[in-house]
Structure formats: C-alpha cells, structure tokens
Structure 1
Amino acid sequence: MTERTGYPDGTPCWVELTTPDTAAASAFYGDLFGWSCEDLSEQTGRYTMCSVDGRPVAALTLQTGPSAQPGWNVYLATSDIEVTAAKVEVNGGKLLAPPTAEPGFGHYAVAADPAGASFGLWQADPFIGSQLHSEPGAMCWHEINTVDGRAVDAFYRALFGYEQEQIGDGAGFDYTVWQLDGEQVCGRLKMTEEWAGVAPHWMTYFAVADCDTAASRVPGLGGELAHGPFDSAYGRMAVVGDPFRAPFTLCRLPDEQRG
C-alpha cells in the first residue's frame, strides 16, 4: 500500500469536491470507491472527510453562493505558503483567498492561474493531505486543462520550479509533463476546439482496480460516462461525472506504477 507521509513543494497533495449536496456525494463516491465519509462540521454537511482504510484521501465541501460550480479542487504542497502566495500575482495569476490558518491542520490559500483555472496551496501543520496515493480510491494523477499552454507552463514554473517536458507534438496534442527532481508529479494539456465551452480547470485522476467495471457502475449511481474507457500509455482510463456533473477521471494504472 502506497502511504504518504509528506509531499515535496509543487506536488498535488489534496483534493476537495465542491458540491451542492455532500450527503448525495458521499453516497456516490462511497459506493464507487468504498470511501468512508465523516461529517466534521457538526452535522451541517459543510465539510466531509473521506477515507480508505482509515486514511484520509479527499474531502467534500458544501457549495455556497449562486456562482459556485461543482468540481474537484486540487491543492499544491508548499513548505512556505506566504512566499508561494506572494508569487501568484507578480506572475500573472490572481490570489482569491490569502493564506489562512486551519488550526490543527495547516495553512491554505486559493488562487487562479493566468488562464483562470483555480487551485489551492497547502502548507502542512501537521495534516499533509492524502495519506494514500496510486491506490484504489486515492488520487493518482493531476493535470491542468487550459487554453494557453505557454502562459500556464511559465506561471506554475515560476511558483515551483517544475522541469517541464513536451511529450505531445506541440500542435494537435500539446501536453507537457511536470517533474520535480526527475519525478513526474502532474501535467498540462492545451485544450483544442473540441473543448469549446469548457473552462480551464484541474482534472483529478482516481486509481481503481478495474476501470471498465468502475466506469460501468457510474451511470447506475447517478453519474455520467463522458468518454471511454480507453487505453493509454499511463493506464486504462475513463472520464466521468458525478451526479452533479463534477468531472474526474478513473484510472487503472499499469502494474509497474501501482502501489
């Protein structure tokens, strides 16, 4: 089992789902991934911790405000949130929520990159984020889907010093893999005309033991199957949506990449 005790700066370390109904989302993801979901907000449904075998892997937050949209939000680890947050606006992004302490957990901030995709920053104190990685029910990859590949590459590189490698052709398939000390940690995909109407966003991939089986169960649980399952060099995948159409990707990792 791939347990995590920490994350290097710039590594996706935690995910939270913004949803209009945490109880319904708990039922969906609990059935799909086997999550145990616990409301930590005195039965208000505003913050629900989701775990696999007692280890936190994700959280559900109650959507507030008419402009909020259901979706998965990624947090990037930082050992100094004040320094990282200060780099956001000088490099073309926008700081949406300044560094804030969560006593007993850590510090967070929320920002948007130059193309408008939002993301979080997380400084552990002592909560590191997901305690499992690349195990069924836990996150296994993240990528930013954007309309401006060069600007977004430069922005995140300025924040965390990623080594960025183009693995697509740079035209019809413009994809960069981001590495820290030689280890791949996330990626960037430039959206094409086929993505018309889709706003820039971070995509979360969750590992599953069998992609086809998991994908086939999604519609019956109230979600939707958007694309796949299909094979890739990084495993068998399917893009799906939960009952409120928050998108995410199911991934059966190749054997050599599994925990």
Structure 2
Amino acid sequence: MAVQPEGTPCWADAMFTDVEGAKSFYGDVLGWTFGEASSEYGNYTQAYADGKAVAAVVPPMPGQEGASQWCLYLASDDAAASAAKVRDSGGEVLMEPMKVGDFGTMCLARDPGGAVFGIWQAGVHEGFEAVAVPGAYCWAEVFTREPAKADAFFPAVFGYTVKEMDDAAVDFRIYSLGENMLMGRMRMGEEFPPEIPSYVNVYFTVDDCDAAVQRAVDGGGILRFGPMTMPFGRFAALSDPQGASFSVIDVTTTEGEQPTLTDVA
C-alpha cells in the first residue's frame, strides 16, 4: 500500500513478555504467520495475513515491562512536526521521534485524556500491506474518559473533522479526513473499572466473528463484550491472555441502516 495521508492509521504493534505465547494466540485467532525476529531492532517480529504485513509483536525492552497493549500508529509526513503539534495541543510526547534504520521514523505520544498512540513517518516501511481483509486491521476507536479533550486534540494534531451519529445512544464520534472515516471516539462510562486508563482499541477483521471469539476464549482470552451485530458488522471486544485489549469484526455481517452523520462545529 502507498504512504497514507497524514493522520491515517497505518500500523499496529504490541509488546508482549511472552512473545511466543502471543504468536500462538494470534496465529490461532487471526490466522497470522510470522516473519523472522529482527535482533537488530529488539526482536521486532512482523505478522502476516495471507502473506501481507499487518502488525508486529516485540518483547519489552529492559525496564519497560508492564501490561501488554496494542499501539496504533498514525501516519505523519514529518514526525518532528507532529510531535510539536502534540505538545502544543496539550498532549505528551512519550518517546521523541526516532529513526528506525531506513524503515521510517517513529514517535510515541499520549493525548490529554491519557490514550497512548504512535506516529509513523514512513521510509521503506509504508505500514499496513492490507486492511479490512481477514487477519488485517480494519478500524480503531479512542476510548476516553475525557471526550471533549480528545475531540479538540486529535483534529488539532491531524486535521480531522469530527462527526457525530444522529440519535446515537452513546457518546460516540467519528474522526474523518474528507469523506474517509478513520477512527471512532467512545466515552468511557461507569462500566469501565476506574483502574483502566484511556486507550486506543484496535479492530482486526475476521470472516466469522463467533468462531474467532471461540478460538480466542479457547486460547485463554477473555470475552469483554459481544458478539453484537451493527450496521458496520458483527464484532466483539476481547482481551488476550497477556491482557492486551482488541476487537474482532466481520464486516460482511451487518444489521440495520447506516446512521446519518452530522459535522460537529
């Protein structure tokens, strides 16, 4: 795939203390195969769906051991400029822009509500080689306790427009570039334990949501929500055995009419 417009989700990876366990779990649930670990880059290991690069897993660096979580990277034409916008807009730069060989330049940041995400300025690694096909990334949502801060921050950094669904029963908005819907923003309510921080939830595509959930549970994962069918597909929220949250979605199984979207002033 070509380099994506600024602000487009372009890559996802996660740190796992038990990398082999993660490979086994996601291989079973999503059908991933894995390349060779790159010792030069901390044993970073790419995952593939039908031969296309779709994500990566990596062991934590010494001193960075902690809860596993998926990190979504947003495309940038200039990672240093994006990092400056993060600071100017009330966010925090967790890792300064760092060149990763000739692959590209990465940066880690946190929005004012606490959600961590990555910034990726592509070099030879342009990001996802496939999206919205079984095993590949499909969608993401910022789950936040500070929705107003998120709705100001992400458009300021990446130029998104913000749309809301008419008659939505929940506090949910969509971040778009032009006509392209890129991410959702969901307000975290009391159903989320207070110890769970704001985070970016990544959706991976499957061809059968219920079967994928069963494989996940059989492999030690925890079903958090669903499966549920909506106009966008049949989906479920899960945690893997090491605690990383993610969702699976079958975009071919839908129910109901697509909602009307209205620009938010």
- For normalisation by structure 2, the TM-score amounts to 0.90
How far does the alpha carbon of each residue in 1:122-152 deviate from its partner, in whole angstroms, 9 at most, with x for none?
A: 0110211111000000000011000111111
How far does the alpha carbon of each residue in 1:23-61 deviate from its partner, in whole angstroms, 9 at most, with x for none?
A: 110111111111111232349973111012221100002
Amino acid at match of 1:220: D
| Structure 2 counterpart of 1:247 | 245
CA contact (8 A) 2:91 2:153 kept: yes
Q: Following superposition of structure 1 onto structure 2, how do residues 1-259 of structure 1 map, counting pairs within 5 Å?
A: 4-42=1-39, 46-64=43-61, 65=63, 68-167=66-165, 173-197=170-194, 198-254=196-252
Between the aligned partners of 2:92 and 2:84, the Cα distance in structure 1 is 10
Q: Which stretch shifts more, 40-49 or 160-169?
A: 40-49
- Local SS of the residue matching 1:27: helix
* Counterparts in 2 of 1:195 and 1:132: CA distance versus 1, 3 Å: same
CA contact (8 A) 2:234 2:253 kept: no
CA contact (8 A) 2:17 2:65 kept: no
- Local SS of the residue matching 1:39: coil
Deviation at 1:66, TM superposition (A): 6.0
Between the aligned partners of 1:223 and 1:204, the Cα distance in structure 2 is 16
CA contact (8 A) 2:83 2:107 kept: yes
Between the aligned partners of 2:42 and 2:105, the Cα distance in structure 1 is 22
Q: Which stretch shifts more, 27-36 or 129-138?
A: 27-36
How far does the alpha carbon of each residue in 1:143-190 deviate from its partner, in whole angstroms, 9 at most, with x for none?
A: 1000111111110110011010111657x6111111101110111001
Deviation at 1:223, TM superposition (A): 1.3
Count of matched residue positions in the alignment of Structure 1 and Structure 2 = 252
Between the aligned partners of 1:116 and 1:178, the Cα distance in structure 2 is 18
Amino acid at match of 1:227: F
Q: Which runs of 4+ in 1 moved over 4 A?
A: none
CA contact (8 A) 2:229 2:253 kept: no
Where structure 1 has 5 or more consecutive residues not aligned to the other structure, the ranges are none
Deviation at 1:217, TM superposition (A): 1.3
Between the aligned partners of 2:42 and 2:78, the Cα distance in structure 1 is 30
RMSD (Å) for aligned C-alpha atoms: 1.9
Between the aligned partners of 1:168 and 1:128, the Cα distance in structure 2 is 35
Amino acid at match of 1:123: Q
Between the aligned partners of 1:87 and 1:167, the Cα distance in structure 2 is 28
CA contact (8 A) 2:67 2:243 kept: no
Between the aligned partners of 2:99 and 2:75, the Cα distance in structure 1 is 15
Between the aligned partners of 2:41 and 2:116, the Cα distance in structure 1 is 25
How far does the alpha carbon of each residue in 1:59-83 deviate from its partner, in whole angstroms, 9 at most, with x for none?
A: 0021243662201000000111111
Amino acid at match of 2:247: T
Between the aligned partners of 2:119 and 2:42, the Cα distance in structure 1 is 23
* Counterparts in 2 of 1:40 and 1:66: CA distance versus 1, 3 Å: closer
Q: Percent identity between the aligned chains?
A: 37
Q: Which stretch shifts more, 213-222 or 112-121?
A: 213-222
- For normalisation by structure 1, the TM-score amounts to 0.92
Amino acid at match of 1:16: D
